[in-house]
Amino acid sequence: MAPLPLIAFDGVSRTFAGRRGGEPVPALRDLSLRVAEGETVAVVGPSGCGKTTLLELICGLQRPDSGALRSAPAALMPQRDLLLPWLPAVDNAALALRVRGVARDAARREVAPWFERFGLSGFETARPHELSGGMRQRVSFLRTLLAGKPVLSLDEPFAALDAITRAEMQAWLARILAEATRTVVLVTHDVEEAVLLGDRVLVMSPRPGRIVADLTVQGDRPRHRNDAAVVELRARALEALGVAA
């Protein structure tokens, strides 16, 4: 018998109440989804199609209006980094441990070896404003990873970075994902990023979002943008998005 998927959505809809008596806003409609343990699923779709809403449902921060959903415990890396400006990087990374009741020194000891692996050595005591955008994203990712949940929900983790830093961060995340046996839902508006990092690429329709294509990516990571499989799948994803490829 196939193992149970870690995430299962069946006909999930989510509508937000309209502001000041305005029309209700349907964000997701009749969305069904399965994610198996260890899979990295990339989700692309136009702005406002409900991608963040999807992640918040997975993490239990919202509830569906109709349909059924089940997910293993999930940690969210939010679209905007929520590093606390007054805390050194090491304590920002350790926040999820502190919230779980781990004492400060013990939390710092647990975080320290990760700073080396994440290219953050020497910046343990730096405040967020002293870090580059890519470094802040790595601290934020580390915080999400150390929450110790089986599912990682990443909301456009590299959207605010310039193209070169983003390419570096994509290569870095591909390496981390190859080692860490987590289940990942990665939201991005960048189709190429989705194809470089995902085992599958889910394409969402404009709001109210539902999944219009579920594409399986061939080839081991790290992948390169010029790989034939990447080029082909990018074209198929763009076609599904309704953009001329």
Ligand X SMILES: Nc1ncnc2c1ncn2[C@@H]1O[C@H](COP(=O)(O)OP(=O)(O)OP(=O)(O)O)[C@@H](O)[C@H]1O
47 forms part of the interface with ligand X (CB under 6 A):
yes
Size of the site for ligand X (CB under 6 A): 14
Contacts of 6 (CB under 8 A, 6+ apart): 35, 36, 37, 71, 72, 150, 151, 183
Rule CB under 6 A: which of 84-123 touch ligand X?
A: none
Question: Among 40, 52, 92, 153, which residue interacts with Mg ion (rule: CB under 5 A)?
Answer: 52
133 to 192, contacts with ligand X by CB under 6 A?
189
Among ligand X, Mg ion, none, residue 48 binds (CB under 5-8 Å by kind): ligand X
Write the CA distances from 219 to 20, 41, 203, 223, integer angstroms: 50, 14, 19, 7
Name the minimum Å distance from CB 136 to Mg ion: 18
Residue 198 as a binder of ligand X (CB under 6 A): the answer is no
Pick 82 or 235: Cβ nearer Mg ion? 82
Q: What are 43's strand-pairing partners?
A: 187, 202
Minimum Å distance from CB 181 to Mg ion? 27
Which positions from 203 through 232 interact with ligand X, judged by CB under 6 A? 207
Integer angstrom CA distances of residue 239 from 91, 187, 210, 236 = 44, 18, 16, 5
Residue 188 binds Mg ion, judged by CB under 5 A: no
Q: Write phi, then psi, for 163 (nearest 5 degrees).
A: -60, -40
**In which residue are the tokens 């969210």 written?**
76
The interface partner of residue 226, options being Mg ion, ligand X, none and the CB cut-off 5 to 8 Å by kind, is: none
Partner in contact with 14, chosen from Mg ion, ligand X, none, beta carbon below 5 to 8 Å by kind = none
Structure tokens at 188: 């991005």
One residue of 48, 73, 148, 242 binding ligand X per CB under 6 A: 48
Position among 50, 78, 128, 198 found at the interface with ligand X (CB under 6 A): 50
CA-CA-CA-CA torsion sign (167, 171, 174, 180):
negative
| All residues at 6 or more sequence positions from 104 whose CB lies less than 8 Å from its CB, including other chains | 91, 94, 98
State which residue, 54 or 173, has the beta carbon closest to ligand X: 54
Query: Exactly one of 5, 11, 13, 25 binds ligand X (CB under 6 A); which one?
Result: 25
DSSP element (H, E) containing 137: helix 133-146
Nearest approach in angstroms of CB 25 to ligand X is 5
Closest by CA position to 169, among listed 183, 181, 186:
186
Q: What angle do CA 179, 184, 190 make, to 5 degrees?
A: 105
Q: Tell me, by CB under 5 A, how many residues bind Mg ion.
A: 2
3-class SS at 59? coil
In the complex, the residues that contact Mg ion under the rule CB under 5 A are 51-52
In the complex, the residues that contact ligand X under the rule CB under 6 A are 16, 25, 27, 45, 47-53, 79, 189, 207
